[in-house]
Amino acid sequence: TITTTAYTGGGGSGPEPHLEVFSTSDQPIAALTITEVSMGNVGVNRGGGGWNSYWYTVPKTGRYQISGVVSWDNGSSNIFGQAYVFVNGVGRAEGSTQSGYAFFGSSFSATLLLNAGDQVGFRCVVSSGCNALPGARNRSTSATISCLGA
């Protein structure tokens, strides 16, 4: 069992704002439908900004590093999947397109200039219905958003 405690401090301990989120339960994903990915657990949220399991509200304008992965379990058929980063409902970055049997994932990474109040979320698409997975360590579907500065 992984136990996380929200960090609320500051004072030079790393970039701020900084968010780390992850999933701890399966999420059904319908075939050929761009679906919001739920990451209902917050490991770290420092420097403000709200997270509602699907969207992060950016607390201050700056350049942000956004990275993560969405992992799937598709049973035994060969299918493809891809993860995306959306800002204010518009696709801004794509993850790797992956295909596979059983367990596979799509990782993403982008550096974006974001404004205070922007909403950042993660979506995915698969060619056949399956589940987005939390994984054994609850980190298989996860994301990090870090402000790099102005």
Q: What is the pTM of this model?
A: 0.86
Tokens of 117: 């109040």
pLDDT of residue 54: 96
Give the span between the Cα atoms of 9 and 31, in whole angstroms.
42
Mean pLDDT, to the nearest integer, of 113-121? Answer: 97
Give the tens place of pLDDT for each residue, 56-81.
Answer: 999 999 999 999 999 988 776 788 99
Tokens of 64: 């942000």
Mean pLDDT, to the nearest integer, of 118-145? Answer: 88
Give just the sign of the alpha carbon dihedral 54, 59, 62, 65.
Answer: negative
pLDDT of residue 55: 96
pLDDT of residue 122: 97
pLDDT of residue 74: 78
| Nearest of 81, 70, 66 to residue 120 by alpha carbon | 66
Give just the sign of the alpha carbon dihedral 70, 89, 4, 59.
Answer: positive
Output 149 or 2, whichever has higher pLDDT: 149
Mean pLDDT, to the nearest integer, of 140-149? Answer: 93
Give the span between the Cα atoms of 66 and 64, in whole angstroms.
6
Output 116 or 74, whichever has higher pLDDT: 116
**DSSP letter, residue 32:** T
